[in-house]
């Protein structure tokens, strides 16, 4: 039997300005699901956490849909306007290959613009790290990525970033959550202002690639050409990783073609998590076939990487996050050695534990 909260939320949902397709989706959901699923979808509100929203797509206040995305975006808009009063405001929006991501990104863009905030919306899917760069490069106050990271296909999500290009932290997270929780779905401004939405793409890509190249020493070139296999696991990595490798001087890299097409159903993997060996099976097969030195794969929004290298017996082993981090840190120390040795007091390391 449904709780009183679920019944109340159902009635409220039916009173919303649902489109014909949304109303049909709602009716189909009621007809094809048991009380447990209906209770889960309507018995509570999808919580906005430290990083944002993440949940199963579908109708109801505890699902990812136009209204839950809208309420979060309206709350974020209110908070941005309050935090940067008197300033010309802008946000950047990116999205991944998941089902519904382009539509959710468009919903968010319309709501920001309806609140007088200029929007830089990527013209197609892009990696989360490029969104982080775009916020800083374009001077935005905030940014959003529509993604559920490495979750299964039925999920989607909404990550929020601040003006420094990093995900929101205390106290912004709690203040944004409080603002969102004060809103009803009927308070969302869905009607956008097209003149405040600017599409961005290739020009920003070029700036991003130049920025990344600038992180390497002027005299940088690979000491050898490792044979690299790369898989995007049907996600955004395919849009930039091959270009980044080429820009960094790596020429012997090979894409796992079976997983190169962006696809929100992730048809070749159980879960698009590159840190799980099962997601790397096709990549490992290709790496063995061409005698590669390194396999790497990215998750749908490309802020997570899985790496496999050969052990002393020539068998591929997966690195964990700590090992990958240690190798990256070692690399940074090596390429900056002459500056570190010249002025050691100017260099320091910051470590966090999540």
- The residues annotated as belonging to the active site are 149
Task: Give CA separation, 154 vs 104, 192, 346, in Å.
Answer: 14, 28, 47
List CB contacts of 220: < 8 A, sequence separation 6 or more. 248, 249, 335
Q: Where are the beta strands (DSSP E) in the chain?
A: 52-56, 90-95, 118-122, 142-146, 155-162, 197-200, 228-231, 253-255, 294-298, 305-310, 316-319
Candidates 162, 160, 28, 153; CA nearest to 99 is: 153
What is the distance between the alpha carbons of residues 211 and 222, in angstroms, rounded to a whole number? 18
Candidates 218, 72, 49, 32; CA nearest to 149 is: 49
Three-state secondary structure string covering 110-142: HHHHHCCCEEEEECCCCCHHHHHHHHHHCCCCE
Backbone dihedral angles phi then psi of residue 147, each to the nearest 5 degrees: -170, 155
Rounded to a whole number, what is the distance in angstroms from the first to the last CA of the chain?
39
């Amino acid at each position: 039997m449904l709780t009183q909260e679920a019944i109340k939320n159902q009635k409220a949902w039916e009173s919303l300005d649902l489109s014909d397709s949304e109303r049909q989706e709602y009716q189909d959901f009621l007809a094809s699901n048991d009380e447990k699923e209906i209770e889960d979808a309507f018995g509570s509100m999808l919580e906005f956490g430290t990083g944002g929203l993440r949940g199963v797509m579908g109708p109801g206040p505890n699902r990812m849909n136009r209204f839950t995305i809208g309420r979060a975006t309206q709350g974020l808009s209110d908070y941005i306007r309050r935090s940067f009063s008197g300033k010309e405001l802008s946000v950047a929006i990116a999205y991944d290959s998941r089902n519904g991501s382009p539509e959710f990104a468009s919903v968010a863009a319309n709501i920001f613009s309806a609140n007088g905030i200029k929007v830089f919306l990527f013209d197609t899917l892009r990696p989360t790290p490029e969104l982080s760069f775009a916020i800083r490069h374009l001077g935005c106050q905030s940014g959003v990525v529509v993604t559920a990271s490495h979750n299964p296909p039925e999920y989607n999500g909404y990550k929020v970033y601040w003006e420094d290009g990093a995900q929101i932290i205390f106290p912004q997270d709690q203040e944004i959550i409080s603002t969102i929780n004060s809103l009803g779905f009927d308070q969302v401004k869905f009607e956008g202002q097209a003149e405040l939405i600017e599409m961005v793409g290739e020009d920003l890509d070029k700036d991003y690639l130049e920025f990344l190249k600038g992180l390497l020493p002027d005299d940088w070139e690979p000491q050898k050409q490792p044979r690299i296999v790369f898989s995007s696991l049907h996600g955004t990595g395919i849009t930039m990783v091959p270009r980044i490798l080429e820009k960094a001087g790596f020429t012997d890299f090979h894409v796992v073609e079976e997983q190169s097409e962006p696809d929100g159903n992730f048809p070749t993997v159980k879960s698009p998590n590159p840190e799980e060996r099962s997601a790397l099976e096709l990549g490992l097969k290709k790496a063995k076939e061409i005698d590669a030195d390194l396999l790497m794969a990215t998750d749908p929004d490309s802020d997570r990487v899985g790496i496999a290298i050969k052990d002393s017996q020539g068998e591929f082993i997966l690195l964990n996050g700590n090992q990958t981090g240690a190798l990256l840190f070692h690399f940074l120390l090596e390429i900056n050695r002459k500056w570190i040795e010249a002025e050691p007091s100017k260099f320091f390391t910051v470590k966090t534990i999540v």
